[in-house]
Amino acid sequence: MVRLVGCISARGDDEDAAEGKQRSNNAVVARIVLLMLVVSACSVGSGVGPPAASTTASTGSTGDTTPTDGTSPTDATISISTVSTSPLRPAVCAAFSDPVAIGTITDPALVEVSGIAVGTNGAIWAHNDSGNQARLWALDPSGSVLGSLAVGAQNVDWEDMSVASSPNGRVFLYLADIGDNLSLRSSVTIHRFEEPSALDGDVEELESLVVRYPGGSVDAEAFFVDPSSGDSFIVTKTPTGRSSLLRIPVGAWSNPSVEAEHVAMIDLGVLSFVTAGAISSDGSTIALRTYRSVWLWERHGDEPVADAMGLAPCEAPSPTEPQGEALAFDGNDLLSVSEGTGAVIYRIER
């Protein structure tokens, strides 16, 4: 349960149009959702759904805020308490070391990286979000471009990707076209294709699955595929930090469309916008990225993903990035990349 226990004061800052489309859009959306949050909290007084980890978050101290790469959408003071009796599995976070910069993406075509995944050949696949080419780039750990693939699908708002094996052993690259800042899309789309041996060329035999949400339109940027079951998962992005975990069964790929199933509620605290998701190749560790933190869940054996993520997460070491939106496992390690020109590739070793 989330209660507003402090007071909120907000002052809008003038936006410099030259700062670009992304900052301006983020600022406008942040103002709108923050106002909605204040009105909702004052009239209702609490959230709905299961409790989450014991956390206190406030802007200017700990917790997540909207991106602050140069300017902040608002000046605000917020005090939030969340209470939980869920057990915690903190050991997994203690195994990760501090982030280390290993490379820089210098290609001018890659300035809005919103999703990464590591292929079985070791290449780091990356894509931009809305308004950019429907293309994947293959990078080495230094950030140098090894090749690119043209994807025969529109980039409405690609927000995340994953690499996973299907039950028959075929390895697929998944693209999650799930971004919806204003929650206007009646459906979203997941694309997949078999991992190519070549790093250049065109994607062949692209499969697409139209996904509807049980509660209607909602924004989302985090996606991953469970290597154990082949099921796909989407985590919604909300200003309250109460995100829905949605499951898409692997069997849905035999149909043109599916309604995702809500299987758990995740509460990371107010203004913890979930921007990326990842799962280790053995399925034992699940990660979510917010603008300011990396959260981990430990999973035991064939434990359902919903059960594992129903427990409180622990906070792993994370890099300070202008706008962290991409996260992936590379073996046991994590890789993190921000949007922006000259984005740094960070490795968080385990």
- Confidence band for 280, pLDDT divided at 50, 70 and 90: very high
Residue-wise DSSP of 199-253: SSEE--S-EEEEEE-TTS---EEEEEE-TTT--EEEEE--TTSEEEEEEE-GGGG
Alpha helix segments (H runs only) across the chain:
21-44, 91-94, 305-309
CA 241 to chain centre: 13
| 119-146 mean pLDDT | 96
Dist. CA 341–CA 143, nearest whole Å: 12
CB 139 within 8 A of CB 343: no
Q: What is the pLDDT of residue 52?
A: 37
* pLDDT at residue 84 greater than cutoff 60: no
User: Boundaries of CATH 2.120.10.30 in the chain?
Assistant: 91-348
* pLDDT at residue 129 greater than cutoff 70: yes
* pLDDT at residue 276 greater than cutoff 60: yes
Q: Tens of pLDDT along 40-81?
A: 333 333 232 333 333 333 333 334 444 433 333 322 222 222
* pLDDT at residue 14 greater than cutoff 60: no
Q: Tens of pLDDT along 237-265?
A: 999 989 999 999 999 999 999 999 999 99
Look-up of token digits 């979510």: 288
197-205: list long-range contacts, CB under 8 Å, 24+ apart.
Answer: 197/121, 198/147, 199/123, 199/138, 199/146, 199/147, 199/148, 199/149, 200/147, 200/148, 200/149, 201/147, 201/149, 201/150, 202/149, 202/150, 202/152, 203/136, 203/149, 203/150, 203/151, 203/152
Percent of the chain predicted with pLDDT > 70: 75
Q: Tens of pLDDT along 181-209?
A: 999 999 999 999 999 999 999 998 999 99
CB 101 within 8 A of CB 29: no
Q: What is the pLDDT of residue 36?
A: 47
- Confidence band for 88, pLDDT divided at 50, 70 and 90: low
Sequence letter at residue 320: T
Q: Tens of pLDDT along 287-326?
A: 999 999 999 999 999 999 999 999 999 999 999 999 999 9
pTM value?
A: 0.78
Q: Tens of pLDDT along 214-236?
A: 999 999 999 999 999 999 999 99
Dist. CA 288–CA 69, nearest whole Å: 21
Of 15-19, 78-82, 160-164, 182-186, which gets the smallest average pLDDT? 78-82
Residue 150, CB-side half-sphere exposure with 13 Å CA sphere: 3
* pLDDT at residue 174 greater than cutoff 80: yes
- Confidence band for 168, pLDDT divided at 50, 70 and 90: confident
Q: How many CB atoms lie within 10 A of CB 26?
A: 23
* pLDDT at residue 158 greater than cutoff 50: yes
| 328-334 mean pLDDT | 97
Q: What is the pLDDT of residue 166?
A: 80
Dist. CA 67–CA 73, nearest whole Å: 8
> For the chain, how are helix, strand and coil distributed in percent, rounded to 5?
10, 40, 50
Percent of the chain predicted with pLDDT > 90: 70
* pLDDT at residue 28 greater than cutoff 50: no
Write out the two tokens for 94: 């203690």
Q: Which fold would CATH assign to domain 91-348?
A: Neuraminidase (2.120.10)
Q: How many CB atoms lie within 10 A of CB 318?
A: 22
Contacts (Cβ under 8 Å, ≥6 apart) of 58: 6, 77, 78, 79, 80
Look at the chain and count its residues.
350
Q: Indicate the average pLDDT of the chain.
A: 81
